[in-house]
């Protein structure tokens, strides 16, 4: 086939599989830096979605690019699980220092879904058990195994049958809690015990959960949730897998979101923010858990790619050197009142929630019934784009505006984002 002379947009529609993509933004991106994105027509956007919460250290961070370039000139690929590569070892050591609890040994791979798949397999190998507990509204990837532990029917359609032996506990969702009648008693945490007793054979290897649920709608569990769940798990010899794919590397104002609870997981998955745009992921575990794999039992051809690991190590060093984790906490604390004022001005904003620079606004048709307003969310997202701000939309009903910018975003830029959201809400509600 010869060159077609088609535009980028036309090539996307003719040559890429897009049938599974809900929508492609009508923007052809040319370049990006820090928290700004420019399209080929010269339009500048403040990026409040960071490539789906990926470029935590900022778009095209020079120190990350330089580290990748230097590594690229020496070694691009060799099979880092077959041969020893210095930068891979250095990144693994760094992760052992910055991850919570006794997490020490890392297996590198290429995507969040691959990391979760590996973590599930490791939990089985470590415990000799085969079943899992997951959360309703939880999201862990789009492969068969990760969808098996995803508690979202819309994401699972036309992909089954899924793995047997997965039971779901109620989500720790304060705004839409079905258990506590308006006064939190952590019944959602206690329900984990009932799920184990009544919905499994008792042969449970692990409980998997996101410390802050991303795709589910930026859901922050109530205080004390993970402490109570961890005790239930420990009493039964069940491992806790913390899925930090979206919430890790400073996104919530701590290096990892689970640190907010004071609980140390047995296995932790990571991706997105670790590579600042380079495809890098992994799962980290306690040594006694990590050493449960038998020789040859788990492998990845491209896992631990030297260039990606160099970028990942540099990205973490940037987060530390520039104080971006504390910056995420501070800017999140500054942004929250701005978003809460939007809720005061616009009745469609039913809830404002989040941590650090992982914030969400849930839109409803009625604050009393809390009926979701997904069409309104779609209109506001489009209006924000037209006004120069890129945001995400998520949640089970598609009614949560997601604000997850690079951690390098400035307070001035966030102020502009709040103004744009205010105008977009007014416009969308008037139409």
Domain boundary among 299, 321, 343: 321
CATH number at residue 32: 3.90.1150.10
Domain boundary among 289, 321, 353: 321
Domain boundary among 304, 321, 338: 321
CA-to-CA separations, 275 to 138, 206, 220, 243, 352, in angstroms, rounded: 23, 27, 24, 16, 29
Pair 74, 132 in one domain: yes
Pair 310, 369 in one domain: no
- Residue 169 covered by a domain: yes
CA-to-CA separations, 355 to 135, 250, 271, in angstroms, rounded: 20, 10, 19
Low-confidence residues of the chain: pLDDT under 50 = none
Measured distance CA(71)–CA(57) in Å, rounded: 19
pLDDT at 181: 79
pLDDT at 430: 85
pLDDT at 246: 98
- Residue 1 covered by a domain: no
Pair 82, 186 in one domain: yes
Nearest CA-CA partner of 242 in 173, 353, 326, 140: 140
Pair 134, 246 in one domain: yes
Q: Please count the structural domains in the chain.
A: 2
Measured distance CA(93)–CA(106) in Å, rounded: 9
Pair 100, 224 in one domain: yes
Pair 348, 215 in one domain: no
Pair 157, 190 in one domain: yes
Pair 289, 346 in one domain: no
Which domain range does residue 213 map to? 63-321
Whether the Cβ atoms of residue 94 and residue 254 lie closer than 8 Å to each other: no
Strand partners, 134: 168
pLDDT in tens, 4-60: 789 998 898 888 888 767 677 889 999 999 999 999 999 999 999 999 999 999 999
Nearest CA-CA partner of 87 in 283, 313, 320, 285: 313
- Residue 247 covered by a domain: yes
pTM value is: 0.96
Measured distance CA(46)–CA(418) in Å, rounded: 11
Pair 17, 91 in one domain: no
CATH number at residue 109: 3.40.640.10
Pair 80, 184 in one domain: yes
- Residue 2 covered by a domain: no
- Residue 187 covered by a domain: yes
> Which residue matches tokens 């919570």?
100
CB atoms within 10 A of CB 289: 23
Pair 366, 378 in one domain: yes
Cβ partners under 8 Å of residue 130, min gap 6: 124, 165, 203, 205
Nearest CA-CA partner of 315 in 101, 95, 100: 95
Pair 90, 17 in one domain: no
Query: What is the DSSP track for 203-215?
Result: -EEEEEE-SSBTT
């Amino acid at each position: 086939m010869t060159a077609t002379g088609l535009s980028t947009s036309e090539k996307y529609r003719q040559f890429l599989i897009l049938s599974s993509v809900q929508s492609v933004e009508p923007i052809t991106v040319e370049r990006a830096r820090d928290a700004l994105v420019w399209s080929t027509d010269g339009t500048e956007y403040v990026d409040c979605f960071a490539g789906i919460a990926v470029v935590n250290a900022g778009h095209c961070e020079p120190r990350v690019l330089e580290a990748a370039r230097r590594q690229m000139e020496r070694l691009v690929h060799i099979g880092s699980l077959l041969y020893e590569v210095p930068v891979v070892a250095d990144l693994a050591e760094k992760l052992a220092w910055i991850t919570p609890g006794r997490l020490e040994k890392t297996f590198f791979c290429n995507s969040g879904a691959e990391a979760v798949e590996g973590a599930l397999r490791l939990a089985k190998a470590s415990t000799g058990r085969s079943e899992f507990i997951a959360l309703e509204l939880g999201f862990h990837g789009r492969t068969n195994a990760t969808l098996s532990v995803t508690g979202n029917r819309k994401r699972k359609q036309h992909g089954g049958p899924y793995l047997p032996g997965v039971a779901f506990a109620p989500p720790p969702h304060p705004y839409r809690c079905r258990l506590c009648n308006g006064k939190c008693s952590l019944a959602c945490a206690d329900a984990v015990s009932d799920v184990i007793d009544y919905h499994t054979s008792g042969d449970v290897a692990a409980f998997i959960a996101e410390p802050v649920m991303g795709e589910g709608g930026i859901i922050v569990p109530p205080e004390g949730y993970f402490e109570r769940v961890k005790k239930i798990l420990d009493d039964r010899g069940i491992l806790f897998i913390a899925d930090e794919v979206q919430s890790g590397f400073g996104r919530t104002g701590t290096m990892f979101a689970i640190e907010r609870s004071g609980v140390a997981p047995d296995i932790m998955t990571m991706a997105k923010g670790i590579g600042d745009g380079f495809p890098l992921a992994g799962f980290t575990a306690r040594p006694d858990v990590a050493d449960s794999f038998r020789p040859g039992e788990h492998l990845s051809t491209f896992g631990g790619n030297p260039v990606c690991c160099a970028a990942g190590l540099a990205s973490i060093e940037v987060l530390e050197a520039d104080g971006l984790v504390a910056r995420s906490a501070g800017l999140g604390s500054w942004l929250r009142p701005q978003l809460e004022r939007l809720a005061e001005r616009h009745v469609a904003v039913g809830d404002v929630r989040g941590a650090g620079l992982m914030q969400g606004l849930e839109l409803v048709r009625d604050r009393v019934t809390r009926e979701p307003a997904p069409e309104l969310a779609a209109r506001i997202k489009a209006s924000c784009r037209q006004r120069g701000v890129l945001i995400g939309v998520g949640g089970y009903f598609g009614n949560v505006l997601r604000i997850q910018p690079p951690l390098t975003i400035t307070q001035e830029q966030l102020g502009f984002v709040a103004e744009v959201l205010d105008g977009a809400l007014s416009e969308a509600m008037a139409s």
